[in-house]
Chain A
Amino acid sequence: MKIKIGAGILVFFTLMAVFGPLLIGADPAATSDDGLQGPSAAHWLGTTQTGQDILTQIVYGARVSMGVGLLSAVIANVFAVAVGLVGGYLGGAVDEVLSVLTNIFLVLPALPLIIVLAGYLPQRGVASVAVVIAVTGWAWGARVLRAQTLSVRRRDFVQAARASGEGAFRIIFFEILPVLLPVIATSFLATVVAAILAEAGLSFLGLADLSTVSWGSMLYFAQNGQALLIGAWWWFIPPGLCIALIGTGLALVNFGIDEIANPRLRTVKTVKVKART
C-alpha cells in the first residue's frame, strides 16, 4: 500500500516534469502586468511580483529540480557502488582507506561544504551544481553497500566464481553487483531526496543558476521579493510543498520496501495483542 501511494506520487511528478511544459507551452519567465495576484481562474496558483505565472514556474521548475536530483544521485551512486563494493570485497588496506574516506564524508556537514564548492564554481549550470551536490552525497550509500558486500562475499556463488578463476573486477561488478541491485535502488532513492533538498538550499542562498526556474530559485525570489510580508502565500507554499511531496513519495517507497523485509514494522494490530497484557 505504502509503495503504491509513494510510486503514485513519484509517477505524478515525473509526468509533470516530462510532459507538463509541453502542455502548458508558456514561458515560465514571461512577465505580465498582473503582479502578485492570488489564485484565480486565469492563474491557478497566482502570480509573482513581476506577474509570472506560478503554476507554469512549478511545472518547468520540476524539470530542473528533479533533473538536478536525478543527475546528482546517479553520479553519487556510481561512486558509492564503486567505493562500497570494491572496499567490501577486497578488504584489507584498501577497505580501511575507503572506509575512513566514507566515514569522513559522512560526518562532515554537507551543506556548508556544498556552499563553499558552489561559491568557487565559475559557472553555476545545472550539471556543475549536480556534480557539487554529488561530492557530498555518496557516503551513505557507500557505507550501506560495503556492509552488504561483506555478507554477500562469503556466499557460495562468489566462492565458486573465485574458484573458477574469475578476476576481482568481474566478481565485483558481474557477480555481486546484480545481487545488490535492490539495496542500490533504495540508496538511490534516498540520494535523490537529499539532492533535491540540497539544490533547493543552494538556490535559496542564490548559489545555483538563478536564470533557470527551479523550485529552489522560486523560493529565493519569493524570499527576496518580500512575499511573506506582503502575504503572498501562494508564491512560496507550492514549491516547498512539491519538494516535501516528492520526498514523501520516495520515503513511502523506501519504507514499504523496509516493511516487506521486516514485517514487524507494519502498522497492524494482531502482533500487539499477543505481545502485551
Chain B
Amino acid sequence: MRFLARRLGFYLLTAWAAVTLNFLIPRLMPGDPVELLVARMKGNVDPAAIDAMRRAFGISDANLWQQYLDYLGNLAQGELGRSITFFPTEVSTVIADSLPWTVGLVGVATLISYLVGTSLGVLMAWKRGTWLDGVLPAATFMHAVPYFWVALALVFVFGVTLQWFPVSRAYGLAVMPGFTGEFAGSVLYHAALPAVTIVVASMADRILGMRNVMVTTLGEDYVVMAEAKGLTSRRVMWAYAARNAILPNITSFALSLGFVVGGSVLTEIVFSYPGIGSMLLKGVENEDFPLMQGIFLVISLAVLVANFLADLAYVVLDPRTRQESE
C-alpha cells in the first residue's frame, strides 16, 4: 500500500496548499479587500459591518503568522466565516445546503460520461476504419466546446423550443421535498438536461484519450498473441487490450476532474440549479469573498477526494501497485 500512502500524502499536501492559497490571496492581492468592497458599494456601508467584515477576513493588526494560525484554527472547526450575500448565515451552512445537489448531479454525470466515453473509445479503436471513425471529428469539436454554451443550446432546443424538459430549478414548484417517488421523479426530470450537458461536454476527452491509448495497445505483442490463440474478439478487446489501456486513461481522467467541475459549475448557472455553482454566481455578484473562497476550498477538497477514489480504482486494476515487496 506504499502507492496509496504516497498519494494520500500528496493530497494532504495539496489540501494544505489550497488552504494556504485561500489565506494568502486576499493578503497578497493589491489593495485591502474590505476597502475594495466598501469602494464597490460606493460607501453605503455601516461602519459596524466594515468591522464585522474585517473580522470575517481575519484581517487584524496581529502579525501574518498569528493570523495564519488563527485562520487554521477556525478552519479546523469548520468555520469559513459569514456570507455577505446571506448575512448572517455561515458560509459553511450555505455550502452544506447546496453541496449535495452538485455532488449528485456532477458525480452521476461524470460517471456516465466516463463509462460511455471510455467504452466508445475502445470500440472506435477496435473498429478503426469503419463508420465509427465519423465520431472523431465530432469529438474533436466537442472537446473544446464551453460547457455553459452546450447548456445554453440544450435549453434553447429542448427547454424553450420543444418544451420537453424544465429549464431551471432542481425539482418542481408543486412537489414537496421528501422521500417520495414523486419527488425523486421530479428531481430526475429536472436533472436530465444539466446532466446531459455535462456528459456531452466532457465525453469527448474520454473518447479521444481512450482511443489513442487503445490503438497503441492493440499493436502490442500480447494482443496479437491472444488473437493467434483464437480467443474471441470480445475477450481480446476487453480483457487483454482495454484492461491495459485503461490505466493511463484513469490518470488523465483524474487530472481532468478539476476541469469538469469548473465546467459543471457554469452549467448549473445556466439551469439555475441550486448547487455550488449557482451559489458561486451569487457570491460573485455580491462581492461575497468569504462565500467565494469557501466554495473554492470545498471544490478543491472534493476534487482531491475524487482523485483519491481514482487512485483506488487504479490499485484495483493494476496489480503492480499492490506489490509489497520492494
How distant is B93 from chain A, measured CB to nearest CB, in Å?
19
Contact call B143/A251, Cβ cutoff below 8 A:
yes
Give A243 to B142 CA distance when docked, in angstroms: 11
Q: Which chain A residues (17-59) contact chain B, with CB distance < 8 Å?
A: none
Contact call A204/B156, Cβ cutoff below 8 A:
no
Known: A107-B303, A228-B160. A219 touches B25 (CB 8 A): no
Give A144 to B260 CA distance when docked, in angstroms: 21
Contact call A119/B128, Cβ cutoff below 8 A:
no
Q: Out of A108, A193, A240, A255, name the residue touching B152 (CB < 8 Å).
A: A240
Contact call B216/A112, Cβ cutoff below 8 A:
no
Q: Which chain B residues (44-74) contact chain A, with CB distance < 8 Å?
A: none
Contact call B30/A122, Cβ cutoff below 8 A:
yes
Does residue A236 face the partner (Cβ distance < 8 Å to B)? yes
Contact call A108/B25, Cβ cutoff below 8 A:
no
Contact call A115/B141, Cβ cutoff below 8 A:
no
Contact call B141/A248, Cβ cutoff below 8 A:
yes
Does residue A166 face the partner (Cβ distance < 8 Å to B)? no
Closest A residue to B265 by beta carbon equals: A111
Q: Out of A115, A233, A247, name the residue touching B156 (CB < 8 Å).
A: A233
Does residue B287 face the partner (Cβ distance < 8 Å to A)? yes
Known: A107-B14, A112-B299, A115-B280. A276 touches B152 (CB 8 A): no
How distant is A122 from chain B, measured CB to nearest CB, in Å?
5
Q: Which chain B residues (132-167) contact chain A, with CB distance < 8 Å?
A: 133, 136, 140-146, 148-149, 152-153, 155-156, 159-161, 167
Contact call B262/A112, Cβ cutoff below 8 A:
yes
How distant is B203 from chain A, measured CB to nearest CB, in Å?
15
Q: Out of B33, B262, B295, B296, name the residue touching A201 (CB < 8 Å).
A: B262
Does residue B266 face the partner (Cβ distance < 8 Å to A)? yes
Q: Out of B10, B21, B148, B149, name the residue touching A103 (CB < 8 Å).
A: B10
Contact call A231/B303, Cβ cutoff below 8 A:
no
Give A61 to B280 CA distance when docked, in angstroms: 26
Q: Out of B21, B140, B142, B227, name the residue touching A255 (CB < 8 Å).
A: B140
Known: A244-B146, A264-B216. A231 touches B161 (CB 8 A): yes
Closest B residue to A274 by beta carbon equals: B224
Closest B residue to A271 by beta carbon equals: B128
Instruction: Report how many residues on chain A are interfacial, defined by Cβ distance under 8 Å.
Output: 58
Contact call B25/A116, Cβ cutoff below 8 A:
yes
Does residue A148 face the partner (Cβ distance < 8 Å to B)? no
Contact call B266/A264, Cβ cutoff below 8 A:
no
Q: Which chain B residues (255-281) contact chain A, with CB distance < 8 Å?
A: 255, 257-259, 261-263, 265-266, 269-270, 280-281
Give A200 to B146 CA distance when docked, in angstroms: 8
Contact call A275/B224, Cβ cutoff below 8 A:
yes
Give per-residue flags for A207-225: 1 if the beta carbon is below 8 A from chain B beta carbons, else 0. 1000000000001001100
Q: Out of B129, B143, B155, B303, name the residue touching A268 (CB < 8 Å).
A: B129
Known: A201-B148, A243-B149, A244-B146. A267 touches B128 (CB 8 A): yes
Contact call B21/A113, Cβ cutoff below 8 A:
yes
Known: A120-B289, A201-B146. A100 touches B13 (CB 8 A): yes
Contact call B296/A251, Cβ cutoff below 8 A:
no
Contact call B296/A112, Cβ cutoff below 8 A:
yes
Does residue A237 face the partner (Cβ distance < 8 Å to B)? yes
How distant is A143 from chain B, measured CB to nearest CB, in Å?
9
Contact call A236/B262, Cβ cutoff below 8 A:
no
- The interface of chain A, by Cβ under 8 A from chain B, is 100, 103-104, 106-113, 115-117, 119-122, 193, 197, 200-201, 204-207, 219, 222-223, 228-229, 231, 233, 236-237, 239-240, 243-248, 250-252, 255, 258, 262, 264-265, 267-269, 271-272, 275-276
